[in-house]
Amino acid sequence: MPKQHIADLALFGGSPLYRPPISTSNLVRPDIEGFLSLLKPALNPAGETRLLHTLEQELAHFHEVPHCVAVCSGFWALVLAIQALALPGKQEVLMPSLTYRRLADVVAWTGLTPRFCEVDPQTLAISAATAKSQITANTALIIGVHPIVNCCDAQGLEALANAHGLPVLFDGVESVYETVQGKRVGGFGAAECFSFHASKLINGFEGGYITTRTAPLAEALRAARLPSSRNGMSASLPAAHAAMALQGLREVATQVAHNRAIYQRYVHTLANSPYFEVLRFSDTEQTSYKNIVVKIKPDWPFSRAHTLALFNAEGILSRVYYAPALHQKPMRYAHISQPLPHTEALAEQFMLMPSGYQVNEQHVEETIGFANWLASHAPDISSRLQEATA
Ligand SMILES: *Cc1c(COP(=O)(O)O)cnc(C)c1O
């Protein structure tokens, strides 16, 4: 039910627009019969091994690489890949700060030290130019992270790494379906890591995988996911997760078509908006349109924190885009950073809007209609917000 008066706002005690809420997570529900028929034959050890093998083969084929190793999460995919790739005797792992909130934790888990670099303000990604100045004699590895919208300059980072004799690992979690200069993500660098978390393009409940062109690395990763490895923990992917992920992989084009319709609806509805600008996906690359990131324009009359409070109360689960940046967060482990002015400014500017399997085009229209309604009542709402915090 649309709002009539500001007292109708959920933040001020009215009933929320969405119950259940609409999310920024992908939350795909693949065909349940398909999932069950993949799972049933895998409920014994031989069947489980076959299912895992099929999943790894189909993923390798999808990413156009010879090898794929499935593991229990994106986090562990990164841990195992970092352990396998970091140069022995070196300590620093170079990474962007405007990125996934746990990326530095992953590095700290391996006993190495995160060293943060800037992002390119155009791509919001680490690039050869932003990474170069942070390479030292103690650099063990570069992690190139693909941002939420489009990809980082993977070839540029490969060339930089080669020139310095360094390995480069890509975090491809946000770019599963994408290409860089026509080449599918998955085959860049020494390896690339991915996730099957429910919030990602392919939902395996939870899980992850590593792709690589190198056979010995794939062998080492297969050994490292066993409980007998140096971590003493199993990083294996459970059969139910593998079945869910495989069904999701087989339906991925359908999900991308849905995401594309949502994206186009946002682009169309916000085309002349004085308030929000949609970050555009590339027209020349293949892309998944998974998340909608908007830049908040100066004419929008509320702070981002107030906007999120107003939206979230209504069940519109918008989120900040990678804020605070990693180097701005308190950390109990060693890390190296300098002031990162681009990153700090960019961390204030963006917001994720509802998207994914559970969101439809009507939700998009309603959400933007609601935002416009807020703007048209901005003075009243702002004074009410001030009272609330006074
Ligand atoms: C979600 C995410 C991960 C971690 O994946 P999990 O499976 O949740 O551990 C790593 N990198 C990026 C960029 C992510 O978005």
Q: Which amino acid is at 226?
A: L
- The closest alpha carbon to 340, from 87, 33, 45, 97, belongs to 97
Q: How far apart are CA 362 and CA 151, in angstroms?
A: 29
**Res. 388: pLDDT tops 90:** no
The reported pLDDT for the residue numbered 183 is 97
304-313 and 378-389 helices, crossing angle to 10°: 90
- Report residue 307: phi and psi, to 5°: -60, -50
How far is Cα 44 from Cα 351, in angstroms, rounded to an integer? 45
pLDDT, tens digit, for every residue of 22-38?
Answer: 999 999 999 999 999 99
Q: Is 122 exposed, middle or buried (0-12, 13-18, 19+ CB in 10 A)?
A: exposed
Burial per residue of 323-357, b for 16 or more beta-carbon CB atoms within 10 angstroms, e otherwise: bbbbbbeeeeeebbbeebebbbebbebbbbbbbbb
- Asked whether residue 253 carries a pLDDT value surpassing 90, the answer given is yes
Ligand 1 centre from 369 Cα, in Å?
Answer: 32
- Predicted confidence at residue 26, as pLDDT, reads 92
**Best CA proximity match to 65, nearest among 216, 218, 211:** 211
H/E element, 375: helix 361-376
Confidence at residue 390, expressed as pLDDT on a 0 to 100 scale: 67
Q: Is the pLDDT of residue 307 over 80?
A: yes
By most ligand atoms within 8 Å of CB, the mutation choice from 75, 82, 326 for ligand 1 is 75
Q: Where are the beta strands (DSSP E) in 157-291?
A: 168-171, 179-180, 183-184, 191-195, 208-212, 276-278
Cα of 103 to ligand 1 centre, how many Å? 8
Pocket of ligand 1 (CB under 6 A): 73-75, 100, 145, 171, 173-174, 195, 197, 208
pLDDT band for position 387 (cuts 50, 70, 90): confident
48-68 pLDDT, tens per residue?
999 999 999 999 999 999 999
What mean pLDDT do residues 64-91 have?
Answer: 98
Atom in ligand 1 nearest the alpha carbon of residue 99: 13
Whether residue 300 contacts residue 193, with contact meaning beta carbons closer than 8 Å, is answered with no
DSSP-based three-state secondary structure for 262: helix
pLDDT confidence tier of residue 224, bands split at 50, 70 and 90: very high
Query: Mean pLDDT over all residues of the chain?
Result: 97
- 217 in Cβ contact with 27 (< 8 Å): no
Its pTM stands at 0.97
Ligand 1 geometric centre to CA of 75 (Å): 6
Q: How far is the CA of 73 from the centre of ligand 1 (A)?
A: 8
How far is the centre of ligand 1, averaged over its atoms, from the C-alpha of 100 (Å)? Answer: 7
Q: Which residues of 164-200 are buried (b: 16+ CB within 10 A; e: fewer)?
A: eebbbbbbbbbbbbbbbeeebbbbbbbbbbbbbbbbb
Strand stretches in the chain, DSSP E: 67-71, 92-96, 113-117, 139-145, 168-171, 179-180, 183-184, 191-195, 208-212, 276-278, 292-296, 319-320, 350-353
Q: How confident is the model at residue 1 (pLDDT cuts 50, 70, 90)?
A: low
Place of tokens 């090898």: 67
| Contact status, residue 24 vs residue 318, Cβ threshold 8 Å | yes
Among 208, 163, 168, residue whose Cα is nearest residue 187: 168
Given the CA of residue 200, which atom of ligand 1 is nearest to it? 1
What does the pLDDT read at residue 70? 98
Task: Give the residue with greater pLDDT, 231 vs 21.
Answer: 21
Nearest CA to 69 among 240, 204, 235?
235
Residue nearest to atom 4 of ligand 1 (CA): 74
Ligand 1 mutation pick, 119, 143, 173, max ligand atoms within 8 A of CB? 173
pLDDT digits (tens, 9 = 90+) for 349-359: 999 999 999 99
